[in-house]
Amino acid sequence: MTPGEIDIGLHVLDHQLLDKNGRRCGNVDDLAVEGGPGEKPEVVAILAGPGYWGQRAGWIGRLAGWIGGGGKSRGGRRPPAAVPGEDPRSRQMRTLSSLQRRKVETESGRALGRCHDLRGELSGSKLRVTGLCVGPRAWLIHLGVRSHDRHTVIPWEAVVRIEGSRIVVRDDAAAR
C-alpha cells in the first residue's frame, strides 16, 4: 500500500460527521461512487441517515433503520447495481454497500472470493477508487482482526462488468 491509499470502508464508514461549528451531526453510513468498469470511479457523496445504514447492515440494520426512521421503510433491499444519471454526460452511480459482499469471478468463471471493501487513493479533496479488496483476509481486516496491507487487491482497471450479485474481472487479474 502506498501513502495516500486507504481501504475506503474500513477508514471512512461509521466515522463521525461534524458540522461547520464542530458539532456532531451523524455518521458516515454509506458512500456514493460515480463511475463503472472502464472508468476511473470516485467517491462523490457521503450518505447518512437511517435509510442508508439499514441497507448495508442486513436485516438487523433494516430493523434499526425502520425504528430510527419512525417506521418508514425504504424497501429493505440492496440498492440497484447502478443508478443512471439524468444528464447524458453523467457516469454510473452506485453505493459502496452495493459492491460489498458481491462474488468476484474471472471472465472464465474462476471464483476469487467476495468483495469486502474498496481500495482508494486520496489526493487533495478527491477519493478515487483503485481496487477491490477480495477474499477471506479482506473479510478479517473488515472485522479488525488483521493488518490492512495483507489482503488481495484487484486493480479497478481489471473490472470488466458488474452484474447481478457478482463482479467480473479479467482472467489475468487473479495472478496479481
Q: Which residue has the cell 447481478?
A: 164
pTM of the model as a whole? 0.75
Q: What's the CA gap between 125 and 39, in Å, rounded?
A: 19
Between CA 60 and CA 72, with CA 66 as vertex, the angle to 5 degrees is 155
Residue range 71-90: average pLDDT?
Answer: 52
Query: Which residue ranges make up each domain of the chain?
Result: 5-175
- At 16, which amino acid appears? Q
Q: What's the CA gap between 115 and 104, in Å, rounded?
A: 6
The overall average pLDDT reported for the chain is 79
**Residue 31 pLDDT greater than 50, yes or no:** yes
SS3 state of residue 30: strand
Residue range 142-164: average pLDDT?
Answer: 78
Q: What's the CA gap between 149 and 151, in Å, rounded?
A: 6
Confidence tier at 12 by pLDDT (50, 70, 90): confident
Q: What is the model's pLDDT at position 112?
A: 92
**Residue 93 pLDDT greater than 60, yes or no:** yes
C-alpha cell, 22: 464542530
Q: Which CATH superfamily is domain 5-175 in?
A: PRC-barrel domain (2.30.30.240)
